[in-house]
């Protein structure tokens, strides 16, 4: 049994690395350019948004006197605090051993492996190990938008992995470790605050249900690390930009609204298209998944977090909803596990893998930052 467990961990690790290496080699050898796409190279992957922004922060922090003279991306210098420091810190560390662009992809890959392995361990808490193993393999390349995020400069692999790790250790009653991972998630992307809020909701529910203030306080005390992390990041902004609230003054970077579904107003910034039908289906599966999770697990941290994050995404007006809602995807696997484990679905996925790969190539080919001189990034 122990050998089987290690073998599955090894297989997940190997498959995660293999899919990424294959994808990068396609660009390295310009295979997309030979089948009808524009000419590409590995630099196309390096300079996919938002990778260059994170590389710049890894190089300069948030110091305008470093960013301005050395980098020529079109956004204003005030925009960079929108990119939290957790992912750039990892890039900066790995860049001690290789160039910054390669370090960025390696950091993403390490996070991708972590994501595959922690997802497997998390799913085993709820479903059979064999099913958890299959769903973890499925999650390497599906949904397609997450497959893209596994291949480029993006913090999502680490963000999703730390969220899952936090909830995993919370379910194992290891609250300090859960709180540390929640704080790390907060250092990676601002929606990490929704995990903190979810723990708060569950804590209030337990307090009302059990009327045990001391017990609830001891259980949830360590999650104060999340607001401490926010304060530390904002203080870093104060030291490097002179503005404690630099995140909120980073320009057209906030897409939350008071009303849901405003993503369908195509005249809003960051939308700019009438082709938005697939967002309806994303909402459909997410909301139905929330319903199934509450039905299965009642008022637990898993459905509470999934519901809160889905609700927040309904208030987002941005074309890239599939990226914004990505932290929900691991828990939707759990919600739809029975269907996703059917033989018919596995066959369908095999048929769709070429489509997912072509979608990813098309996306990466068309989402490149306009960089005239990439020497400062090395």
Domain boundaries, the chain: 2-253+342-377, 255-340
4 has pLDDT over 80: no
39 contact partners, CB below 8 Å, separation of at least 6: 30, 33
2 has pLDDT over 60: no
Q: Average of pLDDT values for 60-88?
A: 94
Q: What is the pLDDT of residue 270?
A: 87
CA distance 178 to 156: 18
Tens of pLDDT, residue by residue over 308-357, are: 999 999 999 999 999 999 999 999 999 999 999 999 999 999 999 999 99
Share of the chain above pLDDT 90, in %: 92
Tens of pLDDT, residue by residue over 232-265, are: 999 999 999 999 999 999 987 778 889 999 999 9
279 contact partners, CB below 8 Å, separation of at least 6: 263, 264, 321, 322
**249-265 per-residue burial string, b: 16 or more CB within 10 A, e: under 16:** ebeebebeeeeeebbee
Q: What is the pLDDT of residue 247?
A: 96
Tens of pLDDT, residue by residue over 206-218, are: 999 999 999 999 9
């Amino acid at each position: 049994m122990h050998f089987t467990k290690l073998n599955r961990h090894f297989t997940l690790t190997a498959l995660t690395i293999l899919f990424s290496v294959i994808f990068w080699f396609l660009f390295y050898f310009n295979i997309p350019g030979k089948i009808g796409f524009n000419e590409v190279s590995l630099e196309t992957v390096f300079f996919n948004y938002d990778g260059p922004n994170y590389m710049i922060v890894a190089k300069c922090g948030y110091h305008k006197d470093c960013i301005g003279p050395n980098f020529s991306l079109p956004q204003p210098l005030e925009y960079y605090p929108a990119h939290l420091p957790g992912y750039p810190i990892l890039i900066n560390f790995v860049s001690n051993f290789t160039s910054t662009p390669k370090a960025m992809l390696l950091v993403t890959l390490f996070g991708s492996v972590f994501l595959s392995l922690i997802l497997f361990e998390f799913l085993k808490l709820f479903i059979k190990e064999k099913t958890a193993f299959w769903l973890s393999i499925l999650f390497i390349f599906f949904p397609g938008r997450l497959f893209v995020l596994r291949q480029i400069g993006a913090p999502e692999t680490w963000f999703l992995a730390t969220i899952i790790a936090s909830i995993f250790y919370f379910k194992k009653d290891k609250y300090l470790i859960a709180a540390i991972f929640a704080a790390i998630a907060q250092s990676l992307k601002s929606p990490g605050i929704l995990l903190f809020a979810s723990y708060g909701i569950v804590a209030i529910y337990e307090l009302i249900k059990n009327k045990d203030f001391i017990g609830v306080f001891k259980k949830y005390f360590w999650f104060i690390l999340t607001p401490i992390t926010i304060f530390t990041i904002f203080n870093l902004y104060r030291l490097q930009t002179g503005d404690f609230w630099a995140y909120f003054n980073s320009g057209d970077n906030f897409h939350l609204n008071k009303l849901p579904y405003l993503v369908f107003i195509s005249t809003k910034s960051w939308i700019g298209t009438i082709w938005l039908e697939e967002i309806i289906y994303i909402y459909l599966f997410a909301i139905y998944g929330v319903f199934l999770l509450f039905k299965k697990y009642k008022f637990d941290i898993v459905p509470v977090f999934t519901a809160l994050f889905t609700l927040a995404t309904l208030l987002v007006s941005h074309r890239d909803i599939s990226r914004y809602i990505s932290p929900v995807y691991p828990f939707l696997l759990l919600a739809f596990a029975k269907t996703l484990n059917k033989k018919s679905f596995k066959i369908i996925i095999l048929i769709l893998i070429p489509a997912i790969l072509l979608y990813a190539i098309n996306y990466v080919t068309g989402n490149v930052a306009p960089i005239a001189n990439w020497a400062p990034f090395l």
